[in-house]
Structure 1
């Protein structure tokens, strides 16, 4: 009986299995996933515009020193400090009385010498006919001729003295030689002016405005190499168009051009000075501003460029989706170059004729069939937008649009420039903070000197290249003079450094502003002109 029960159970199990299999076979086949609709472009070699981006500083195209040309007392300041003055406007008036007296004396001397000349000429007129008749000796004639010539020379000397006295009197009215923005008066009414303190103020011409920026030796060599091998086409220097982005991210409405490139490399900074001339008819640009300057007109020749939406980032780097000849999606690793406008230049990984997917990439998997719709390649364009426009952020701002080894060299140069600007282990009121860069300003001014401006540009490039790095900015107040004025000047200098870093693309939350420190007696004299930029992975207090 037990054997019969087992046989019955086995038959029942086999029956159930057959039923299940039969039910499974009767179910409809699973629906096949439909092919994704994607837009693709046909890769072709084309010329792509390139935008070079740098950090620059504005400078007056003609900053004129207003100096007194005569010694005397300053009677009155006529102009309003900081106002716009026009060529010929009166700025200062000196005491005229001594010079008017000197002019009167010179004119009296001229009249006296003219009278002597008249007498000498009359005497000569009498002597000459008598000498002709031998009534007088030849010596008498020679003496009369000499007296007449000496009197004539004395008249010319007296006339020159009158001209000099007239000029000196005119110099007591000091006018603006150019149209521009005036500075504060360095001498007040009643001051005695002589050759040792003749500087009265400055007038800075505002139109046009110069934009100064620097190109490192590595960047210059990289540009030269790309130009020689034909991958980069540069227009003549005067045809490179300049656009500037202000500190708030707005685009300055006027466009300028490159007006000057230094012929020699600076031995102090290792950079070449380049200058752009920018129209400034409304005077909205002022000397000393930090701006981002973008140069337009260069072309990347025979380049492979795809829209930015086509490039994806994965664990192994950048890649794009392509459609092969069988209509299936394939993932292709690429090496990217500069990022500008709507295009991302592809240095390697794509070839002419490849079909690159530009949308609907989230539905793709390798080997999956797709329905490709061939669309026209978007035209190449440049981006001169605000802080987030242009190439891949600030990293390529200092590398002239280079990437790969060239960009690495540029970043290395940036770091070298930073450490070359007096890196030390700084410690003091803020505690030990590691390496820092010391920046120096002109005495009594919030404008950087040329070497420190280049060092600050190197600091900005390093911060852009190292997003995890932060900085603390701290100045110093002089122990002499007005304490309040010294603190305001130190704060203004620190604010200048912060503004330059923000313009270069450093986020403001990565910058810490610290109170200025007081210098002590054993500090070097130039420490009062210094602002320290201290590096730290977490620059806190």
Structure 2
């Protein structure tokens, strides 16, 4: 009977010891300090950073010429391929020349007739003048002969002008391109009668250089002026701003341009301010009417604070970053970002010069968590030391004998 009770008491005592031991372990784990997290940090400072502005723009031909007929008549021939590149002087259309050739012949005949009359009038004047000097003819006869000679000379000049006009009209039947550029489709077909009401035949758009038009709102213009006046924004000298064109697929057009024109006033319809850039387009990659993004390069944001993209956390309440306080603990701080430049956000508010911002290792952070900051780009100094201490502790533990054992000789 005593042996049974003894065995039961021993079993009960062992169970009690296990329960108490487990409870003590939990308390020890609860009291253990949270682990220190290695993080990469940067110290923010004030510096001048390049500032780019982006707008939506539209390309426009620097010289788009309407090709119109200058005389009335039937359209006889279209000599160009619609949509092709044409050069200045290339023939685009021909109109029926026969009526204008006949008009030129008539004008030449009229000129010959008037020249014959002038010859007769001058001969008559040459006969009358010496007779009038001898009083063989009256002064009136001399005046009449002089007037007839002058009228015949004026008629000859009129006939010459008619010949020139007839030649011009005949030349207008051959319609050429005045510029190098891209031709459009023919708006009138062969056989159509052309008069002043339907004289537009096509147009030719010059491709090099290409204009890129974009607009600034009144608020953008006023903000730029105020920031420039306060020194927060530094603009280059007039004409030094460069323009970069970004295509619809996101690719950057290889040639940069410059601001060539700024409107004198705001548009009464849209309230915007028109700006025009001029870009070289030798290969014809840009075409009129394309919508592109325009990036204006050359301005600088002075004394700005910037943080990299990986440091900024997007949340429901806006942007924030993790910072390290004086006790090496992580703290979340709300910020307000402005422009994006060179892979960094310009911080408008929320950070000051000298703040330490965490840029690496933010996934497992919590407010107040201890961290071991390491400047980004530098090798953590604590890692080798920690590894060496761990190795030394392991060696020391292996060298010490277990309880009840003797040390190795």
The alignment's TM-score, normalised by the length of structure 1, stands at: 0.61
Matched, 1:151 2:152: yes
Larger Rg over CA atoms: 2
- Look up the match of 2:284: 283
Distance, in Å, in 2 between the alignment partners of 1:284 and 1:144 is 72
Aligned 8 A contact 1:312 1:319 in 2 = yes
- Residues of 1 paired with 2:168 and 2:243: CA distance? 44
Residues 196/186 of structure 1: CA separation in 2 closer, same or farther (3 Å cut): same
The answer on 1:137 being equivalent to 2:138 is yes
Deviations 1:11-36 (A, max 9, x none): x97xx779968x979xx999976644
1:315 deviation in Å?
A: 4.9
* Displacement of 1:97: 0.9
Residue 261 of structure 1 corresponds to 262
The answer to whether the Cα contact below 8 Å between 1:237 and 1:259 also exists between their aligned partners in 2 is no
Q: Counterpart of 1:96?
A: 97
Query: 1:283 deviation in Å?
Result: 1.6
Q: Distance in 1 between matches of 2:19 and 2:370?
A: 37
2:204 counterpart of 1:169: no
Q: Residue 249 of structure 1 aligns with which residue?
A: 250
Distance in structure 2 (CA, Å) of the matches to 1:253 and 1:150: 68
Once residues 377 and 350 of structure 2 are traced to their aligned partners in structure 1, the CA distance between those partners, rounded to angstroms, is: 21
Question: Where in structure 2 are the equivalents of 1:231-380 lying within 5 Å?
Answer: 231-236=232-237, 238-374=239-375
Tell me the equivalent position of 2:55: 54
**Whole-Å Cα distance in 2 between the matches of residues 333 and 271 of structure 1?**
34
SS at match of 1:334: strand
Deviates more, 1:196-205 or 1:326-335: 326-335
Secondary structure (helix, strand or coil) at the match of 1:258 reads: strand
SS state at 1:238 partner: coil
**Distance (whole Å) between structure 1 residues aligned to residue 237 and residue 109 of structure 2:** 63
Deviation at 1:280, TM superposition (A): 1.6
Please state how far the C-alpha of 1:255 moved relative to its aligned partner: 1.6
Is the contact made by 2:34 and 2:370 (CA closer than 8 Å) also made in structure 1?
no
Please tell me the root mean square deviation across aligned C-alpha atoms, in Å.
Answer: 3.2
Name the SS for the 2:109 alignment partner: helix
**1:481-500 correspondence runs (5 A):** none
Long gaps (5+) in structure 2:
379-409
Listed one character per residue, the Cα deviations across residues 263-301 of structure 1 (whole Å, up to 9, x for unaligned) are: 222232232333222222122222222222222222222
The CA distance in 1 between the partners of 2:288 and 2:62, in whole Å, is 9
For CA contacts below 8 A with separation 6 or more, give which structure has more relative contact order: 2
Q: Which has a greater percent of strand?
A: 2
Give the structure 1 partner of residue 40 of structure 2.
39
- Does the 8 Å CA contact 2:66/2:202 hold for their aligned counterparts? yes
Cα distance between partner residues in 1 of 2:41 and 2:106? 93
In the aligned structure 2, how far is the partner of 1:280 from the partner of 1:90?
Answer: 24
**What is the match of residue 86 of structure 1?**
87
Q: Structure 1 CA distance, aligned partners of 2:266 and 2:89?
A: 39
Secondary structure of 1:358 counterpart: strand
CA shift for structure 1 position 359: 1.8
Work out the CA distance in 1 between the residues paired with 2:172 and 2:20: 116
| 1:234-271: CA deviation from partner (whole Å, max 9, x where unpaired) | 33563332222222222222222222232222232232
1:469-517 deviation per Cα after TM superposition (whole angstroms, max 9, x unaligned)? xxxxxxxxxxxxxxxxxxxxxxxxxxxxxxxxxxxxxxxxxxxxxxxxx
Q: Deviations over 1:186-237 (max 9, x none)?
A: 1111111111111111112222222223322333333333333322223356
Structure 2 counterpart of 1:201: 202
Q: How many residue pairs end up in the alignment?
A: 366
Quick one: distance in 1 between partners of 2:365 and 2:116? 109
Question: What is the TM-score when the length of structure 2 is the normalising length?
Answer: 0.80
CA contact (8 A) 1:41 1:376 kept: no
Judging changes above 3 Å, is the alpha-carbon distance between structure 1 residues 18 and 86 closer, same or farther for their aligned structure 2 residues?
A: closer
